[in-house]
Amino acid sequence: MALDITGLPGVGGIYSNFSISKRRNIPFAANAQADSFQYTSLNQYVNENAILRMISSNPKIASILNQKQVSLNMKELNLLLQGHAKDTQETARGIMENLPFSLKNNVDEKAVLDAAYLHDIGKVLIPPEILNKTGRLTPEETEIMHKHSELGYELLKTTNINPKTLNLIRNHHQNAKKTGYPFVNKDFKADLNLQIVTIADKFSALTEKRVYKDALTPKQALTIIYRDVQEGKLNPLIFKALVNYTDSQKFAQKTTVAK
């Protein structure tokens, strides 16, 4: 796919925006009952009882939110999982399938796919008035929004998810230049797995219609993402794999079904 990198379309911050009809206030020290049913899929981590257990098991979550009581936005999370999370996971899979053989050997496919699906679980704790704001976020609101990746990490680290997947979730808004969030130390490296998750998330967000913006075309999204290659934030071979995926029959079929 040929890209015109002049006159790049401008977009605002990439945030999740879905309508929420119900919020549930949960005292931080609430005692959550364990489910008797044992899940075998990633959905074992995203049901309400599981999230309550995670919160009860990790006092740092309340500290990050700077409050003793938290609100679970389960409708928001469920909509996100049905849409953006699945699409990010499919995009990550498409990127991996189109990588050169030499890079495929360095990819942890399970960690990437698990992180792609669970990366925004922390948004269940972000206030809906921020998630659903139609205008530009204030600096204070942006700071709260940026906590979602660390919150996702802190929630899930109380479970049996492996450390590699956890770190992908925590750092899915970081890059090779370390200009993203949350803070990372000087030894941090945005490895191949992280770059795949990050760029799959960004491509999915850009091509989705949100409350505050229309969906961009795949070509427009790729043009914006190409900036990351130019700025040294993204491996060009990963970008090429994404371009090849968007040119594939698999992507065309997915787009047709979505319409």
Average pLDDT, the chain: 85
Identify the pLDDT of residue 210.
82
- What three-state secondary structure class fits 85? helix
Alpha-carbon gap, residue 160 to 158, rounded angstroms: 7
Residue 67 gets the label, from left (phi > 0), alpha (psi -120 to 50) or beta, of beta
The 10s digit of each residue's pLDDT in 154-186 is 999 999 999 999 999 999 999 999 999 999 999
The DSSP call for residue 44 is G
The DSSP call for residue 119 is T
The 10s digit of each residue's pLDDT in 213-255 is 889 999 999 999 999 999 999 999 999 999 999 999 899 988 7
Nearest to 199 by CA among 166, 240, 142, 242: 242
The residue behind tokens 């704001």 is 133
Q: 12 pLDDT exceeds 80?
A: no
The 10s digit of each residue's pLDDT in 88-146 is 999 999 999 999 998 999 999 999 999 999 999 999 999 888 988 988 999 999 999 99
Provide CATH code, domain 24-258.
1.10.3210.10
* Sequence letter at residue 73: N
Identify the pLDDT of residue 69.
76
The DSSP call for residue 187 is T
